[in-house]
Structure 1
């Protein structure tokens, strides 16, 4: 980011990270607009992430000497990070934003478990309590005591997408920490490439309906999609990288909780969404668990590109 100083003040780094969190928190708005135009989630992800991913291939090839020794981890980052973003985009487009965000923010649970199982990290009791709180919060968001009743909001495949997105995001964080020899830029753009590849499979490029959909898309729709990919998503990812790279991980994690607050608040204020009192209580537990995990040194939660408490929003 040549337009920002290499050694910023804490105030500037905080401002940049809040800007990134705001972009991620508001990303549901253009996505809902795209589905209103009759576009599917995989197609949107293919055009927005895939177009950036095509250009990123050249950057990855140029960095190949640096990541060749850990090429297996680069492949894992591409697939896992790609799934995190693809499933997140589809969940936001098809589901209730509030519910999707709370389920996605269970990623601290998976970060703790992944770090414990695969990286042999020592987990303090407070972080285990956060895991328990997040699981209880999930139960409450999904219906609590009424879960399973015919009157309760049933668990849907969109819920499964939301949970899998959070799981994949946390897994991406764990893989990125293990891939210590892989350049940060490579970790970041792997996500765009993976999202484009998985979205291409999901759209079924050989299907008979896709050419008709693409030909029916007007120039303004194409322009909006490309602007969302190269403008909104790329800017959100790069500013995420910059912010978390120049702040303490615990501080960055707490700042990035603004994404959850912004997305939930705007979805209720402008999207006509709501949540039951029990759901609010569960969401509060999940948000608290995410805050405890951030303070405890875990991976930073989010939508949407990723890196842990240190580097990218979409690559770990």
Structure 2
């Protein structure tokens, strides 16, 4: 693809990254109203699943052909979405996003263990930078830097699950993006239902649930589905290294918006951790850009 033709896909991925970086806003808005806790995730992903249901029915043969790999990829990415959402609902947005973006570190480890891809020196440096950034963000007050809140843990686990998703996707390149989106959203709705039923502090049946569903459906139709389609469409037309670099816009967007709109702390520690994790992501992305394209 020529430089000219790279422009629109790159813009699509960048737009998606901005929307994902601001995704905490509609989540917290819905949670502050009649959809407390993980009801916001359940309503949004449930509505998105219903919107895609007619398309899924038309492509049911592709869904069946996806088989077990599609189910595993969809459920793992659905878990990524739901765990990340819960993290930003109960924790600090910046910390959750930064811990999530350790995903390339975990993905490298999984690729080494499961795909026999030994990391080179550049990738080892990016791993050390990512882990160092996480340690700075988490702090050393209690000794070894571990997540110190529920939000931290959910952000970290969502990144681990995203690394699992990336590894599964590489092992099943034949699985289609639309089918993956549908199964992921349906899986996210199921996992969110599990959170509502079994996590402490959840409201089993919120008052005013019926009135809150239309706004949740609008968020799904006007925000979630466009940002998901943009990243899938753009990523399919760009090399992975370029995509991973552009997606780092999400970190900057989330950090800046949370610092301005929530008053969450964003001092020297968060700045240093953000710089290290962004640096690790950039190093990984540029390394991917330098790899030769596979033969066709």
> Does TM-score exceed 0.5, indicating one fold?
yes
Q: 1:278 aligns with which of 266, 269, 278?
A: 269
Equivalent residue of 2:204, what SS? Answer: helix
Give the 5 Å matches for 1:166-181.
166-181=159-174
Q: Say yes or no: does 1:193 pair with 2:186.
A: yes
Q: 1:23 to 1:267 in 2, by over 3 A?
A: same
1:57 deviates by: 4.9
- Deviation string 1:59-94 (CA, Å, 9 cap, x unpaired) is 445545445465221221122111100011111111
Query: RMSD of the TM alignment (CA)?
Result: 2.6
- Deviation string 1:198-229 (CA, Å, 9 cap, x unpaired) is 11222229xx9533x1x42363x322211111
> How many correspondences in the alignment?
284
Query: TM-score scaled by structure 2?
Result: 0.87
Q: Which whole-Å CA distance do the structure 1 matches of 2:146 and 2:178 have between them?
A: 41
Q: 1:183 to 1:272 in 2, by over 3 A?
A: same
Q: 1:291 aligns with which of 268, 276, 282?
A: 282
Q: 1:217 aligns with which of 209, 212, 218?
A: 209
Q: Which whole-Å CA distance do the structure 1 matches of 2:263 and 2:237 have between them?
A: 37
Q: Say yes or no: does 1:128 pair with 2:124.
A: yes
Give the 5 Å matches for 1:297-316.
297=288
1:21 deviates by: 1.0
Q: Which whole-Å CA distance do the structure 1 matches of 2:240 and 2:203 have between them?
A: 46
Q: Which residue of 1 aligns with 2:142?
A: 147
Q: Which residue of 1 aligns with 2:231?
A: 240
Task: Show structure 2 runs of 5+ residues with no match.
Answer: 290-296
Query: TM-score scaled by structure 1?
Result: 0.82
Q: Which whole-Å CA distance do the structure 1 matches of 2:116 and 2:50 have between them?
A: 36
Q: Which residue of 2 aligns with 1:3?
A: none
Q: Which whole-Å CA distance do the structure 1 matches of 2:181 and 2:41 have between them?
A: 16
Q: Which whole-Å CA distance do the structure 1 matches of 2:217 and 2:27 have between them?
A: 13
Q: Which residue of 1 aligns with 2:99?
A: 103
The answer (yes or no) to whether the contact 2:102–2:159 under 8 Å persists in 1 is: yes
Equivalent residue of 1:155, what SS? Answer: coil
